[in-house]
């Protein structure tokens, strides 16, 4: 759904643990070599897209410091022959990032979990050019722990309630809430008023998103995306909608709102791509956030059996 993805557990479950420790809240980078023995390890690393910008001198300095290692933590000889599909780990230079000038308030914390009220524009976890400006790295630094991990994900442009686990031993239990769809979510959105939507409308369709395409699309096929949309208030700035997703496709809520004729205010992708809006935060302009908030999260605590409900303090009205 927009702002939400419940496949964190599956992706992270496949990831190999890094032999290098987290440094200042940031994980070492894993690089899978795609070149054979006709190339050296150094040449193979320089050809990796994830290390664009690194020079041979940069790599040799890291290697001399013992900061390029294999999956077993053994230092790597850059002049040795490369091997296809082996994993190496190193610390890469962090990208230049525009600072997101908003705090990440903690709504709740105990020994197992921490629940935060994520601001707009802040990524849940490092990806691409958003590394230190992510909730995960911020929380690692602010809480002084490297064992924190997201139980689910909100898109960078979406604000609201976001759950992290604090101990590896409890991680899978909380991530399973989202993988099994037993966690109940409620969103709020600001969009044009359509009084016919005071009666809940359920949108059912099939959404797919392909790599390299900014937008998700509705396609033919079995239903995989279901959302309830209800107009609950009218203001001089538009209608406030309650959104209840029953599935978790990428951009689901944003696409479903646009499909019923009430696109979310300041959405840079739906119904049309608006590059000028999408580029604002890259220039330090945070004046037009996507008016979508993960308003509430409810679940039965998998460890204690307690009923939990967390509510965002953020408003779609700003």
Domain ranges in the chain are 29-90, 106-311
pLDDT computed for residue 11 by the predictor: 42
pLDDT computed for residue 2 by the predictor: 47
pLDDT computed for residue 129 by the predictor: 84
Token match 């909730």: residue? 135
pLDDT computed for residue 3 by the predictor: 47
State how far the Cα of 254 lies from the Cα of 305, in Å rounded to an integer: 33
Q: How many angstroms separate the Cα of 228 from the Cα of each of 9, 63, 72, 201, 290?
A: 25, 54, 48, 6, 19
State how far the Cα of 177 lies from the Cα of 164, in Å rounded to an integer: 12
**C-alpha atoms less than 13 angstroms from C-alpha of 90 in its C-beta half-sphere:** 28
In what helix (H) or strand (E) does residue 164 lie, and over which residues does it extend? strand 159-165
Cβ atoms of 190 and 240 within 8 Å: the answer is yes
State how far the Cα of 234 lies from the Cα of 19, in Å rounded to an integer: 54
Does the bond joining 191 to the residue before it have cis omega, within 30 degrees of 0?
Answer: no
* CATH C-level class of 106-311: alpha beta
pLDDT computed for residue 49 by the predictor: 87
pLDDT computed for residue 169 by the predictor: 97
What are the tens digits of pLDDT across the range 53-75?
889 999 999 999 999 999 999 99
Distance of CA 34 to the CA centre of its chain: 27
State how far the Cα of 122 lies from the Cα of 107, in Å rounded to an integer: 17
pLDDT computed for residue 17 by the predictor: 83
Nearest by Cα to 290 from 312, 313, 263, 311: 263
Cβ atoms of 4 and 152 within 8 Å: the answer is yes
pLDDT beneath 50: ranges in the chain: 1-4, 7, 9-14
Pairing of strands 29-32, 149-150: unpaired
Cβ atoms of 295 and 187 within 8 Å: the answer is yes
Q: 3-state SS of the chain: helix, strand, coil percent to 5?
A: 20, 30, 50
Pairing of strands 292-300, 159-165: parallel
State how far the Cα of 199 lies from the Cα of 211, in Å rounded to an integer: 36
What separation, in Å, do the N-terminal and C-terminal C-alpha atoms of the chain show? Answer: 22
pLDDT computed for residue 318 by the predictor: 87
**C-alpha atoms less than 13 angstroms from C-alpha of 46 in its C-beta half-sphere:** 13
pLDDT computed for residue 15 by the predictor: 58
């Amino acid at each position: 759904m927009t702002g939400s993805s419940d496949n964190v557990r599956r992706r992270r479950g496949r990831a190999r643990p890094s032999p290098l420790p987290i440094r200042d809240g940031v994980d070492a980078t894993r690089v899978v070599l795609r070149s054979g023995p006709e190339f050296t390890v150094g040449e193979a690393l320089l050809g990796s897209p994830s290390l664009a910008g690194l020079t041979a001198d940069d790599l040799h300095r890291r290697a001399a410091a013992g900061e390029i290692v294999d999956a077993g933590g053994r230092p790597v000889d850059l002049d040795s022959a490369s091997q296809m599909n082996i994993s190496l780990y190193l610390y890469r230079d962090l990208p230049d990032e525009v600072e997101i000038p908003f705090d990440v308030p903690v709504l709740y914390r105990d020994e197992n979990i921490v629940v935060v009220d994520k601001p707009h524009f802040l990524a849940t976890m490092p990806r691409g050019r958003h590394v230190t400006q992510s909730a995960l790295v911020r929380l690692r630094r602010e809480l002084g722990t490297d064992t924190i991990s997201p139980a689910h994900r909100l898109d960078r442009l979406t604000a609201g309630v976001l759950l992290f686990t604090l101990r590896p031993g409890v991680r899978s239990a909380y991530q399973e809430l989202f993988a099994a769809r037993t966690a109940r979510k409620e969103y709020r959105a600001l969009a044009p008023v359509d009084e016919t939507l005071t009666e809940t409308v359920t949108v059912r369709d099939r959404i797919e998103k392909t790599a390299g395409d900014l937008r998700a699309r509705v396609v033919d096929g079995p239903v995989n995306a279901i959302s309830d949309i209800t107009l609950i208030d009218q203001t001089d700035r538009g209608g406030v909608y309650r959104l209840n997703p029953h599935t978790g496709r990428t951009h689901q809520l944003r696409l479903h709102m646009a499909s019923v004729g009430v696109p979310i205010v300041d959405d840079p992708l739906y119904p049309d791509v608006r590059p000028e809006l999408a580029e604002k935060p890259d220039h330090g302009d945070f004046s037009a956030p996507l008016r979508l908030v993960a308003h509430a999260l409810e679940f039965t605590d998998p460890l204690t059996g307690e009923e939990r409900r967390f509510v965002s303090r953020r408003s779609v009205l700003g």
